[in-house]
Structure 1
Amino acid sequence: MTGYDDRDGKIWMDGQLVDWRDAKIHVLTHALHYASSVFEGERCYNGKVFLSRKHSERLLKSGEMMDMAIPYTVDQIEAAKQLVLKENDLTNAYVRVVAWRGAGPDMGVSSARNPVRMAVTAWQWGDYYGDAKMKGAKLDIAKWKRPSPETIPTAAKAAGLYMICTMSKHAAEAKGCSDAMFFDYRGYVAEATGANIFFVKDGEVHTPLPDAILNGLTRQTVIGMLKDRGITVHERHIMPEELESFEQCWLTGSAAEVTPVGQIGDYNFEVGALTKEMSQAYEKLVRE
């Protein structure tokens, strides 16, 4: 596969379509130096982006939390996505919308005078964890912890918050794992590097309270699906020692969708009936 910078197609940048290879930014772009960037990852199924407007609304909210007003409305962002999908002849694709502080008169920590820019891209992307949907992903336990909300805007989908995710996923892959699971700053189970996590015990579902992690849109969707089925969902703090008692586990995210987990560190889980049911039900829902 060619690099992401060397492909045919079109990318929407700052209100206009440009050739894929010409979608460039200056080396003194503020986001490159100070992580002033927010983004959304979305999936398009059969020509329709799942929860598209919610993603666009969250992008604008993330910008607000980063003191970075994005100069586009939800409707304009929605139109840009559709244009990119059409111009690249894509009906099933991953969509990435990113907004960042560009190059301008400021080149220090302060960047209030620099323009906020935005781009929309889309490409074909298969299962995020490869064949894990059949046998369950294998997760390492990260040495890093998700920080306190007093130190970072945990509700923002901001690029800088993924620094420890990249480091942890690299370490996991070096051990033959697909991903890594974090504990938070208090020692509670938190999430994977780019997905929320769920556990099953005695027919009930347990998932970390999103008080120090991103409350993912897929997470919210799956909780709603579980409740519609009459399944009890406990959103709560989960202690590390509880991992041994859980029977099943899965991850959720726009990229991950609903992916079973077979192992976290020394703990093993079955790819059980409820996990399979939720994965299949989600696949059906996003294509309705």
Structure 2
Amino acid sequence: MDGAFDDRDGTIWMDGTLVDWREAKVHVLTHGLHYASSVFEGERCYNGTIFKGHEHSQRLIRSAELIDMELPYTAEEIDAAKDDMLKANGWTDAYVRAVAFRGSGQDMGVSAARNPVRLVVAGWQWGNYYGDAKMKGAKLDISKWKRPSPETIPSQAKAAGLYMICTMSKHAAEAKGCSDAMMFDYRGYVAEATGANIFFVKDGEVHTPTADCFLNGLTRQTVLQMLHERGVTVHERHIMPEELEGFEQCWLTGTAAEVTPVGQIGDYSFEVGQMTRDIAEAYEKLVRS
């Protein structure tokens, strides 16, 4: 599937109706465009089944609630919308994007209580998020932007506005020849990449930042469960920047990223070791089982 995202063949689900891809439009005075009153989910469909699709639908509803927005659909109805979109396009393997936002209405200021909440479900065929880094290890920059305090944002919402600094960080990283950027949090602890959670390995044990000011990803939760089932000791804790030098392996997790090895973060290098490869392979098997 090639070309600009607004000029493709296909079908998109909008507010209960399947529409032609090129006709899936909103007005320029849509509240979500001006004030980021929008939440979304990124999901992957493998062999005709969306991995943890219902959990993603539930999280979309929770994210909306966290930004004071009530979705006019249940999780089951959102599940059905995703299935309808995939069937209409004839896809069994695809990336799925559900996005809910405040549309155009009587309000066009910060307040938008009288505006309708809209839901769109689209999809596309997408390979490795980090390209060949999936095999040799991604190269990460270190962002100048930090994940903010949960006292300033709804950090457990997958909300569009929270990704502004992620876009800026990824652009800066790509300009340096990197795939992505790692971010610290407001306290100076290691947090995550711009759209993926992060794991480290040292002496056969795994260390991952506590998800207390960034999204606790569904892929992160899945990988944690996999590690526990394998008897691997996992430390969910605050990680200081100076600890990066002592870690041997590193990987990222996310619906788009899946499990991607990291070979370098700034000046720190990591091997694509056996545990990283094992977890990546086991995750691939799990999502396709």
TM-score relative to the length of structure 2: 0.99
Percent identity, please: 76
Q: What corresponds to 1:163 in structure 2? A: 164
Please list, as runs of the form range in 1=range in 2, the aligned pairs for 1:1-288 lying within 5 A after superposition: 1-288=2-289
Amino acid at match of 1:264: I
CA shift, 1:129, in A, is: 0.2
Specify the SS of the correspondent of 1:260.
strand
Q: Look up the equivalent residue of 2:72 and give its one-letter code.
A: P
Taking only aligned residues, the RMSD between alpha carbons, in angstroms, comes to: 0.4
CA distance in 1, matches of 2:256, 2:142: 20
Question: Residues of 1 paired with 2:146 and 2:238: CA distance?
Answer: 15
CA deviations on 1:230-274 (whole Å, 9 max, x unpaired) are: 000100000000000000000000000000000000000000000
* 1-structure distance, mates of 2:11, 2:281: 33
Distance in 2, Cα, partners of 1:146 & 1:18: 37
- Give me the whole-angstrom Cα distance separating, in 2, the residues matched to 1:96 and 1:166: 17
**Structure 2: how far apart are the matches of 1:179 and 1:63?**
27
Partner Cα separation in structure 1 for residue 134 and residue 83 of structure 2: 29
Following TM superposition, by how much is the alpha carbon of 1:205 offset from its aligned partner in structure 2, in angstroms?
0.1
Partners of 2:271 and 2:18 in 1: CA distance: 47
How far apart are 1:122 and its partner, in Å?
1.0
Residue deviations 1:152-173 (CA, integer Å, cap 9, x gap): 0000000000000000000000
1:22 & 1:67 partners in 2: Cα distance?
29
1:35-83 deviation digits (Å, cap 9, x = unpaired): 0000000000000000000000000000000100010001110000000
Q: Return the offset for 1:90.
A: 0.3
CA distance in 1, matches of 2:75, 2:151: 29
Q: What TM-score do you get using the length of structure 1 for normalisation?
A: 1.00
Q: Report the alpha carbon displacement of residue 133 of structure 1 after superposing the two structures with TM.
A: 1.2
Name the SS for the 1:61 alignment partner.
Answer: helix
How many residue pairs get aligned? The number is 288
Amino acid at match of 1:192: A
* Runs of 4+ residues over 6 Å off in structure 1: none
- Distance, in Å, in 2 between the alignment partners of 1:29 and 1:246 is 46
